[in-house]
Chains A and B, each alone.
Chain A
Amino acid sequence: MCWVCEKYGNKGEKWYLNPENYARRLYKVRKEGKEAAGSDADPQSAGMGAGVVAELVKARISGNLEWEEEIKREALEHAYQTHFGQVVTLDEYLQILDIAYPLAKMTCGCRRVQRGMPDDENFTCMGIGPGMYKWERWPETYRGGVEFVTPEEAKEWALMNHKEGRVQTVDVFGTPYIGGLCQCEYPGCVAVRNRIDYDFKFLLKGHTVAKVDREKCTGCKSCLGRCQFKALNLEVYTSKAYVDMDQCFGCGLCVTACPTNAIELFDRENMPGLAENW
């Protein structure tokens, strides 16, 4: 169990399977006036959890570790109380689609920010909860509009996304309320990218870890290319898949690509060496 489960899980249940964390009644109505007149935004902060990245880059270049740690500590303290994400497995994602309501497909902010993808080619985010009824009020947030879907449609879409190779995550908007289900990748997703490139833990690892059964692996390479976290490659000299378990986020994308079931997801908490590695 990660710290979020300890705080917001229901008796040993994972926090994102606890219906209470979807039960936000109404988003706080933001103060009129300021936004109506147009409030300032920092283009450098665009994308999921990117507010301090420009600063992190400077700390990195200056080689000042203490500065870098301070930026992360302060930013994450705030993020964990307001807005962060965690990787979930496909099974968990499907379970969530039975808990969360309403469900609406919307454009992915990160890929707009980093690749300028037009909204109509980029409906890869799923917004959930009463906030979805507010898209007309905040058209910039919901650029391109929203498309409400039934749980069945959402599941079909989730399966398609998994097949295509997108990592699935839950995203909190006002801890502990989950307001988004994302389909992400490196480097298109700002949260994934900042975690991999700058070790900025806005995005937490999932509750599982993939392990290769070296007896079963035939070296067919079908799993290669599935990992968005730089945790998977081929051990060429033995011709077996290699998962860096320390680096694995437990998304399960490699698992479903394997024709011989040679990769399996294990509970992180049952791996003493990885149990605290979020």
Chain B
Amino acid sequence: MIAEIGIDYNLCKDPLGCRKCLSVCPSVIFVCGPTKIWKGRETDPSEYRIAGRYFDKCSGCGDCVKVCPTGAIKVEFLPREQLAQQFRIERAAQLKERNS
């Protein structure tokens, strides 16, 4: 099965300040990146976002959920074939748009 990792951005407001999930995950699944780049100043902490970029490598150990102080992380598992099917549909749509 493959993990579906959801982050509630209404709860996770300062990920670089907290960074508990980034630090605890044994499989380095998360990344934290800016949603905005400004000239002359650093990006506001609130404009950073956590994402489970490498979710295909998540073991489901649950450490991130346990360590998150705001309860922002949800990890659920889906059958690989179900996700594969979903991504194949996305790909087909992409190809169709390109060829039209």
Decide whether A and B assemble into one complex: yes
Q: Is there an interface contact between B83 and A46, defined as CB atoms closer than 8 Å?
A: no
In the complex, what residues of A have CB within 8 A of residue B55's CB?
57
In the complex, what residues of B have CB within 8 A of residue A36's CB?
38-40
Chain B residue, CB-CB nearest to A46: B33
The CA-CA distance from A143 to B32 in the complex, in Å, is 14
* Closest CB in chain A relative to B98 CB, distance in Å: 11
Q: Is there an interface contact between A35 and B37, defined as CB atoms closer than 8 Å?
A: yes
Query: Of A13-21, A108-116, A170-178, which stretch is located at the interface?
Result: A108-116
**One of B15, B39, B50, B87 near A138 (C-beta < 8 A):** B39
* Closest CB in chain A relative to B48 CB, distance in Å: 7
Cβ of B16 < 8 Å from any Cβ of A? yes
In the complex, what residues of A have CB within 8 A of residue B84's CB?
61-63
State how many residues of chain A have any CB contact under 8 Å with chain B.
42
The CA-CA distance from A120 to B53 in the complex, in Å, is 25
Residues 45-57 of chain B, each 1 if its beta carbon lies under 8 Å from chain A, else 0: 0001111011111
Q: Is there an interface contact between A41 and B88, defined as CB atoms closer than 8 Å?
A: no
Q: Is there an interface contact between A41 and B32, defined as CB atoms closer than 8 Å?
A: no
**One of B15, B40, B85 near A137 (C-beta < 8 A):** B40
Cβ of A182 < 8 Å from any Cβ of B? no
Chain B residue, CB-CB nearest to A110: B31
Q: Is there an interface contact between A197 and B39, defined as CB atoms closer than 8 Å?
A: no
Max count, chain A CB within 10 A of own CB: residue among B22, B55, B80: B22
In the complex, what residues of A have CB within 8 A of residue B97's CB?
none
Chain B residue, CB-CB nearest to A67: B91
Chain B residue, CB-CB nearest to A60: B56
Q: Is there an interface contact between A35 and B38, defined as CB atoms closer than 8 Å?
A: yes
Residues 35-63 of chain A, each 1 if its beta carbon lies under 8 Å from chain B, else 0: 11011111111110010011001111111
Residues 95-128 of chain A, each 1 if its beta carbon lies under 8 Å from chain B, else 0: 0000000000000000011111000000000000
A residues within 8 Å of B by Cβ?
A: 32, 35-36, 38-47, 50, 53-54, 57-64, 67, 112-116, 136-141, 143, 187-188, 190, 193, 197
For the A-B complex with A43-B31, A57-B55, A112-B16 known, give 5 more contacts whose Cβ atoms are closer than 8 Å: A39-B37, A43-B50, A54-B53, A114-B30, A139-B40
The 5 A-B pairs of least Cβ separation, nearest first, read A46-B33, A116-B19, A43-B33, A116-B22, A62-B87
